[in-house]
Structure formats: structure tokens, C-alpha cells
């Protein structure tokens, strides 16, 4: 189902990657709701393997060992409290669910799992669910290694092991029932939907059956008959037999071309220019608007996993990252997701980060640290909190203010200076060239003085950033130095002084 069921005209989702439930609950109340964020994507909440070599990597959470709800982010009570408190302030929760597989085949045997439950990867035995060796796909897989070896063969992509992860037989009624039961427990607790991991590796028919078993959303917070929002992780950059299109009828799909292209454009690689984005969206060969879930970076490709490579614009390149995220939030295409990261010690050897496995800030024993908030509203202890950066936070508001308005009043200099508006509700101007921008443009907005929400905030009647004068004819003069800390300017109906 394609509708995120957002509340109060809010639009943007933030992925609070690896945050603890207690911190997310507090963040919903103190920051997300007051600043108009629509929802949170949370890390997988169920039991997962714990590994010590490498030391508690972030990706251990993509190796389920059971469906009990205790994880590195907290226990079931903390999860329930978080869902309740976020819902009570109108912030939706979307759960990252890993249902294609269990842990790696080499995961051993014992109680090294986040709830302390016993399992055996070697015997394919997960008694807390229970799944046994009859619930996996190995008999169907035809590759020598049992792993996916060739993405050109759709059968092995669906029926073999993704990097050695024990592949569930989702064709079985029993497995479908267990997976749906796990998801329904979360639906009943009040979540609004799911980011479904590794959908390329599951048959659309199996997914359709499983998702068809989901309950309607909890009527304490959602109107009767509401179906869970589904967005499916399928990496489709073209060139493979499995396409995003096969999944459109089930829900939205992650559009990986979006961040890969926009990163390339803002980096000015491969001869790309910002002016070419006049037809951004479907005009670039992206999936239909109503199917797309868009983002600049995600938890994989910000550290070299997944797709997109070095072009991806992450918090490590803040100037480019802020521009790319602002472009996404200003543009009408897709449901938008903002990444909120933790920092780690990058260590590139021959272009590969040796530390791409490092988990969230922790006390050393694998217990994730809380997110402390500094007096200036930034986060401490290695939490990056991109969603709190003024430029990004204010663009999330921009997206809400212009929601439903058409892309309008495009201008470009045939290079890397562009501008566009959203009806008569908002206007944004970018200068990604190596020279100044100095131009008068039709903003389409009512006359008046507006506060630029990139360089500052509107606070009461005052503006801490640049002020933009829009004349009675909708025209305004813009000057943006290529030396500016953030070489873009954005105004909207609610930033009028």
C-alpha cells in the first residue's frame, strides 16, 4: 500500500539509524513533532545475532535469530512505549523488517543473540519462532556455493543465499504465517508501516500473500480500514532481469537512481550539470512518482555497501549533502526520507573503508549509547543528527508548506545555477557553479519580505538569515556567492516576515 498515512500535513520520514527506542521516543516529543517530521524509520526491532568478530557490527541486526522484540535498541516495553509516545504526537513509526532470511550460515550455535535465545545456524534451527531446516530454500537453490552468484539469474537471486544468509522458504504457508504474525504484532502495537529489506530476493507473489495477511492499522491512531504503508528495498539501477516494476502493486519501492544521480550532479562528475534536472523525476527514467521512496543516502551506501558508490552525498561532505537533501525536499517527486547517521572512524585502503562495519556509538560492550543533545541543539557522542541541521530541518518544513503544489517557475543558467518554485508557496535557488549568482527571477510568490530558511531561521517576526524582497509582480533579486557556506536560498509562505 502506497500511502504513508502521515499526520497534520507532514511529509518527510527520517531514518534514525541504530537509535535506541528511549531516544526515539524523546526525539518524537522534543524535536520531530515540533519541527514537522512525519515519521521515523527504525532499525530492525527483533532478536538478532550478536557478533564479536568484527565487534558488534551494525549489520548484525540484518541477521535475525528470532521474532522476539529485543534488540540493540531496547526491549519490547521500550519499543511499545516509543510507538505510543510517537503516535501521540502524530509521528509515525515505520519498521525495517528483515524477512528474506535469518542469520548467516556461518553464525554458529548458542545464545549469542540479542534476547539471549538459543539458536543454531548450522542446523537451521530457530526454536523461539520456531523455524527448522524445512523452512529454508536450500533445496531450491542451484548454485555451487548455495549463495547468489549471478544477479543475471532471477531464480538464484530469489532462492539462494544473499551473502550466506539462510534463505527463508516464503512460498510455504507456515513461513508466511510466522512472518505475518511477527509483522502483525507490530501493526497492533501501532506502527504505520514497513521498510521491507531485500525484496529483490523475494518472489513478488510470496510477498503479496504475506503482506495480504497484515492487519489494518491500529484505530487508536489511524482511521478504520487503513492498510500498512509498505516500501520495499529493491536496488534497481537497470541492467538486471529483476526490476522495481515487479513490486509496484505491493507498495512503494526505493528509487536508488535518485541519490546516485543527484550525488553525481552536485559533485559535477561525468559532465553532469544541475541545469539538466529541469525534468527531474520521471523525466529521468525514474519509476512513477506514486511508487517512489526517495533519499540521498541510506545506511548502506553511506559506507560503501549496497549501490551508488562514491557518488553518494553523505554527511562526510556536508556542503554537497545539504544541497542534495534540500533539492530532494523542495522537489515534489516521491515520498522523501532523510538519513540520520552516526560517525565512525573511516579508514580507506585502496578505496575501500576497512571500518565500514563499525556499529553505533557504544560503551564498548555492544550497548548503544544514548543520544545527548547539546545546548546548540546538535547531538553529541558521535551521533550526527543530520535531521537537526538547520538547513535540513527547515527544508523539511518547506516540503510541508508546499505540499501538493506543482513544480513551477523553473530557471537555469545552462550550468549549475537553477531555481524552481512550488506553486505560489515556496521558491528555492541553487548556485553550484564556481562563480557568483546575481539574477532577478520570477518566484511566483506574493509580494513581501521573506526569511531565507537556509542561512537562518524565522523566529517570531525576526529573521536570523538573509532577507529576500519579493515585489508585487513576484520577482525577486537573488545574490549567492559561490563562497557561501551554503550556496542556496529558500523561502516559503510561512517564512514571510
Q: Which positions touch ligand QV4 (CB under 6 A)?
A: 59-60, 62-63, 98, 104-106, 147, 162-165, 197-198, 200, 233, 235, 300, 305-306
Residue 278 sits at φ, ψ, to 5 deg, of -55, -35
- SS3 string of the chain? CCCCCCCCCCCCEEEECCCCHHHHHHHHHHHHCCCCCCEEEECCCCCEECCCCCCCCHHHHHCECCCCCCECCECHHHHHHHHHHHHHCCCEEEEEECCCEEEECCCCEECCECCCCCEECCCCEECCCCECHHHECCCCCCCCCCECCCCCCHHHHHHCEHHHEEEECCCCHHHHHHHHHHHHHHHHHCCCEEEECCHHHCCHHHHHHHHHCCCCCCCCCCCCCCCCEEEECCCCCCCCCCCHHHHHHHCEEECHHHHHHHHHHHHCCCCCCHHHHHHCCHHHCCCCHHHEEECCCCCCHHHCCCCCHHHCCCCCCHHHHHHHHHHHHHCCCCEEEEEECECCCCCEECCEECCCCCCCCECCCCCECCCCECCCCCECCCECCHHHCHHHHHHHHHHHHCCCCCEEEEEECCCCEEEEEECCCEEEEEECCCCCEEEEEECCCCCEEEECCCCCCEECCEECCCEEEECCCCEEEEEECCCCCCCEEEEEHHHEC
Known catalytic membership, residue 197: yes
Residue 122 CB coordination number (10 Å)? 12
CB of 202 to Ca ion, least distance (A): 5
- For ligand QV4, the closer of residues 156 and 400 by Cβ is 156
- For ligand QV4, the closer of residues 135 and 197 by Cβ is 197
Q: CB within 8 A of 34, min separation 6: which ones?
A: none
CB of 395 to ligand QV4, least distance (A): 25
Q: Which of 27, 197, 246, 452 is catalytic?
A: 197
- For ligand QV4, the closer of residues 187 and 235 by Cβ is 235
Instruction: Select from Ca ion, ligand QV4, none the partner in contact with residue 428, using the beta carbon and a kind-dependent cut-off of 5 to 8 Å.
Output: none
Q: Is 292 exposed, middle or buried (0-12, 13-18, 19+ CB in 10 A)?
A: buried
CB of 340 to ligand QV4, least distance (A): 16
- For ligand QV4, the closer of residues 162 and 463 by Cβ is 162
Instruction: Select from ligand QV4, Ca ion, none the partner in contact with residue 362, using the beta carbon and a kind-dependent cut-off of 5 to 8 Å.
Output: none
In degrees to the nearest 10, what's the CA dihedral of 386, 387, 388, 392? Answer: 90
Which residues of this protein are in contact with Ca ion, per CB under 5 A? Answer: 100, 167, 201
Place of cell 550550468: 415
Instruction: Select from Ca ion, ligand QV4, none the partner in contact with residue 73, using the beta carbon and a kind-dependent cut-off of 5 to 8 Å.
Output: none
CB of 85 to ligand QV4, least distance (A): 27
- For ligand QV4, the closer of residues 163 and 497 by Cβ is 163
- For ligand QV4, the closer of residues 141 and 480 by Cβ is 141
- For Ca ion, the closer of residues 61 and 161 by Cβ is 161
CB of 216 to ligand QV4, least distance (A): 27
Helices 76-88/173-189 angle, 10° precision: 50
Q: Which of 23, 233, 236, 246 is catalytic?
A: 233
- For Ca ion, the closer of residues 167 and 433 by Cβ is 167
CB of 146 to ligand QV4, least distance (A): 8
Known catalytic membership, residue 438: no
Tell me the residue nearest to Ca ion as measured from the CB.
201
CB of 167 to Ca ion, least distance (A): 4
Instruction: Select from Ca ion, ligand QV4, none the partner in contact with residue 167, using the beta carbon and a kind-dependent cut-off of 5 to 8 Å.
Output: Ca ion
- For ligand QV4, the closer of residues 233 and 255 by Cβ is 233
CB of 396 to Ca ion, least distance (A): 35
Rg, Å, the chain Cα set? 23
CB of 201 to Ca ion, least distance (A): 4
Instruction: Select from ligand QV4, Ca ion, none the partner in contact with residue 106, using the beta carbon and a kind-dependent cut-off of 5 to 8 Å.
Output: ligand QV4
Instruction: Select from Ca ion, ligand QV4, none the partner in contact with residue 43, using the beta carbon and a kind-dependent cut-off of 5 to 8 Å.
Output: none
Residues in the chain: 497
The residues assigned a catalytic role are 197, 233
Amino acid at each position: 500500500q502506497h500511502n504513508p498515512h502521515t499526520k497534520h500535513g507532514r511529509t518527510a520520514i527520517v531514518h534514525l539509524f541504530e537509535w535506541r527506542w528511549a531516544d526515539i521516543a524523546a526525539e518524537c516529543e522534543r524535536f520531530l513533532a515540533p519541527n514537522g517530521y512525519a515519521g521515523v524509520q527504525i532499525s530492525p526491532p527483533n532478536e538478532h545475532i550478536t557478533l564479536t568478530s568484527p565487534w558488534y557490527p551494525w549489520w548484525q541486526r540484518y541477521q535475525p535469530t528470532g521474532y522476539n522484540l529485543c534488540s540493540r535498541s531496547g526491549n519490547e516495553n521500550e519499543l511499545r512505549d516509543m510507538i505510543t509516545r510517537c503516535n501521540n504526537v502524530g509521528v509515525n513509526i515505520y519498521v525495517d523488517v528483515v524477512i528474506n532470511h535469518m542469520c548467516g550460515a556461518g553464525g554458529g550455535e548458542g545464545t549469542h543473540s540479542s534476547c539471549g535465545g538459543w539458536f543454531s545456524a548450522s542446523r537451521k534451527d530457530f526454536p523461539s519462532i520456531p523455524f527448522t531446516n524445512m523452512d529454508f530454500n536450500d533445496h531450491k537453490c542451484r548454485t555451487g556455493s548455495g549463495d547468489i552468484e549471478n544477479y543475471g539469474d532471477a531464480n538464484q537471486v530469489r532462492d539462494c543465499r544473499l551473502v550466506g544468509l539462510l534463505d527463508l522458504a516464503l512460498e510455504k504457508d507456515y513461513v508466511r504465517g510466522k512472518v505475518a504474525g511477527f509483522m502483525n504484532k507490530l501493526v497492533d502495537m501501532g506502527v504505520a508501516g514497513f521498510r521491507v529489506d531485500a525484496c529483490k530476493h523475494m518472489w513478488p507473489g510470496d510477498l503479496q500473500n504475506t503482506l495480504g495477511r497484515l492487519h489494518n492499522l491500529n484505530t487508536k491512531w489511524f482511521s478504520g480500514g487503513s492498510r500498512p504503508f509498505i516500501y520495499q528495498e529493491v536496488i534497481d539501477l537497470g541492467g538486471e532481469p529483476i526490476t522495481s516494476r515487479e513490486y509496484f502493486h505491493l507498495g512503494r519501492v526505493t528509487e536508488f537512481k535518485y541519490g546516485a544521480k543527484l550525488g553525481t550532479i552536485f559533485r559535477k562528475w561525468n559532465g553532469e550539470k544541475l541545469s539538466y534536472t529541469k525534468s527531474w523525476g520521471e523525466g529521468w527514467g525514474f519509476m512513477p512518482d506514486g511508487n517512489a521512496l526517495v533519499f540521498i543516502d541510506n545506511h548502506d551506501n553511506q559506507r560503501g555497501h549496497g549501490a551508488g558508490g562514491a557518488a553518494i552525498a553523505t554527511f562526510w561532505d556536508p556542503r554537497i549533502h545539504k544541497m542534495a537533501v534540500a533539492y530532494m525536499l523542495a522537489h515534489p517527486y516521491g515520498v522523501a526520507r532523510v538519513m540520520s547517521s552516526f560517525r565512525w572512524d573511516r579508514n580507506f585502503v585502496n578505496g575501500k573503508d576497512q571500518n565500514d562495519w563499525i556499529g553505533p556509538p557504544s560503551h564498548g560492550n555492544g550497548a548503544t549509547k544514548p543520544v545527548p543533545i547539546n545546548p546548540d541543539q546538535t547531538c553529541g557522542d558521535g551521533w550526527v543528527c543530520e535531521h537537526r541541521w538547520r538547513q535540513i530541518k527547515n527544508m523539511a518544513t518547506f516540503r510541508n508548506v508546499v505540499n501538493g503544489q506543482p513544480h513551477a517557475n523553473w530557471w537555469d543558467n545552462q550550468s549549475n545555477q537553477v531555481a524552481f518554485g512550488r506553486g505560489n508557496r515556496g521558491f528555492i535557488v541553487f548556485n553550484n557553479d564556481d562563480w557568483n549568482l546575481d539574477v532577478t527571477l520570477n518566484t511566483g510568490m506574493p509580494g513581501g519580505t521573506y526569511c531565507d530558511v537556509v542561512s537562518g531561521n524565522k523566529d517570531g517576526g525576526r529573521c536570523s538569515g538573509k532577507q529576500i524582497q519579493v515585489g508585487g509582480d513576484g520577482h525577486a533579486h537573488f545574490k549567492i556567492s559561490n563562497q557561501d557556506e551554503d550556496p542556496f536560498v529558500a523561502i516559503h509562505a510561512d517564512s514571510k516576515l
